[in-house]
Amino acid sequence: MKTALITGASSGIGWATALLLSKQGFRLVICGRRQNKLQALSEALETPHQILTFDVRKRQEVFDAIERLEAPFNTIDLLVNNAGNAHGLDPAHEASLDDWEAMIDGNVKGLLYVTKALLPQMIARKNGQIINVGSIAGKEAYPKGNVYCASKAAVDRFTEGLRLDCNPFGIRVGAIHPGLVATEFSEVRFKGDQPRAASVYAKLQALTAADVAQAIAYMVAAPAHVTIADLTILPTDQASAYVVNRNT
Ligand SMILES: NC(=O)c1ccc[n+]([C@@H]2O[C@H](COP(=O)([O-])OP(=O)(O)OC[C@H]3O[C@@H](n4cnc5c(N)ncnc54)[C@H](OP(=O)(O)O)[C@@H]3O)[C@@H](O)[C@H]2O)c1
């Protein structure tokens, strides 16, 4: 049985990916900060799993948590670097520096810490797969997206660099870049303002977290000699980071 570690499994895309990979027979390490949510997910999983709570922004917490894993959960075949969020949607001159730091620390530095904690074992085994969850926002900026877009562009470029460095070791490295997915994402971005969050997904058919999980599972299920390096997945109602058809 293979083991997958999924960050941000307490909600949205990470949760749906955990459910699907469990159905497909993966042993899981499910990560997030909210223990109660991970406990709820745990009840729905069909395969052996372990809950790991840590804040990806806290470097020592990340390394300590991963070090605490015991066999067989400490041999990670698949890392899904999914934890992340947007904070705020404001023009650069009005945006909060705290929001900017939260995005750089979580979406970029957090992803780097988790990768750094798990990569040595994959290199030693010459085996493994890393899937980073980027965003269409990392491919093109949208108005007021400034630092969120920059953080996801960093994920995109880091994925490419990591793939180059892992090339001699047979490790598969790829990224998935979703468009609009109806999750808690916008509620977090707008700091609990539910009507504003709901308006993001109004009058269009957004992706579901399960849609993205299916695509991640496709990247995972490809034969060992096949790397899906870069996969952009959009709702049909969305044509780019900021062109959305809300007329249907
Ligand atoms: N929804 C979209 O439209 C969309 C589009 C493109 C890309 N994405 C990306 O997809 C990924 C998942 O987002 P989602 O849509 O599923 O949103 P979500 O429902 O808000 O889930 C975000 C997940 O990330 C975890 N997380 C956030 N900050 C964390 C931190 N500092 N430490 C540890 N875990 C943290 C959260 O867990 P805790 O709160 O329990 O820590 C939660 O499980 C993110 O990287 C996001 O940028 C989303």
Instruction: Check if 129 has its Cβ closer than 6 Å to any atom of ligand 1.
Output: no
Q: How confident is the model at residue 20 (pLDDT cuts 50, 70, 90)?
A: very high
Its pTM surpasses 0.85: yes
Note the pLDDT tens digit of each residue in 50-76: 999 999 999 999 999 999 999 999 999
Q: How many CB atoms lie within 10 A of CB 96?
A: 11
Range of the domain at 44: 3-233
Per-residue pLDDT at 247 exceeds 90: no
Count of structural domains, the chain: 1
Instruction: Check if 235 has its Cβ closer than 6 Å to any atom of ligand 1.
Output: no
Per-residue pLDDT at 200 exceeds 90: yes
Torsion sign (Cα): 147, 152, 155, 156: negative
Instruction: Check if 172 has its Cβ closer than 6 Å to any atom of ligand 1.
Output: no
Q: Is residue 245 part of a domain?
A: no
Q: How confident is the model at residue 104 (pLDDT cuts 50, 70, 90)?
A: very high
The CATH code of the domain that includes 210 is: 3.40.50.720
What is the per-residue pLDDT for 155?
98
Q: Is residue 241 part of a domain?
A: no
Ligand 1 atom nearest to CA at 182: 1
What is the per-residue pLDDT for 43?
98
Q: Is residue 153 part of a domain?
A: yes
Out of 6, 11, 58, 189, give the residue to mutate to test ligand 1, the one with the largest number of ligand atoms within 8 Å of its CB: 11
Per-residue pLDDT at 248 exceeds 90: no
Note the pLDDT tens digit of each residue in 123-138: 999 999 999 999 999 9
Average pLDDT over residues 173-193: 98
Q: Is residue 42 part of a domain?
A: yes
Question: Are residues 225 and 171 in contact, defined by beta-carbon separation less than 8 angstroms?
Answer: no
Out of 5, 10, 13, 114, give the residue to mutate to test ligand 1, the one with the largest number of ligand atoms within 8 Å of its CB: 13
**Nearest to residue 178, comparing CAs of 220, 242, 231, 140?**
231
Question: Are residues 79 and 131 in contact, defined by beta-carbon separation less than 8 angstroms?
Answer: yes
Per-residue pLDDT at 31 exceeds 90: yes
What is the per-residue pLDDT for 245?
97
Q: Is residue 201 part of a domain?
A: yes
Instruction: Look at ligand 1, atom 23, and give the residue with the nearest C-alpha.
Output: 8
Q: Is residue 248 part of a domain?
A: no
Q: Is residue 246 part of a domain?
A: no
Q: Is residue 116 part of a domain?
A: yes
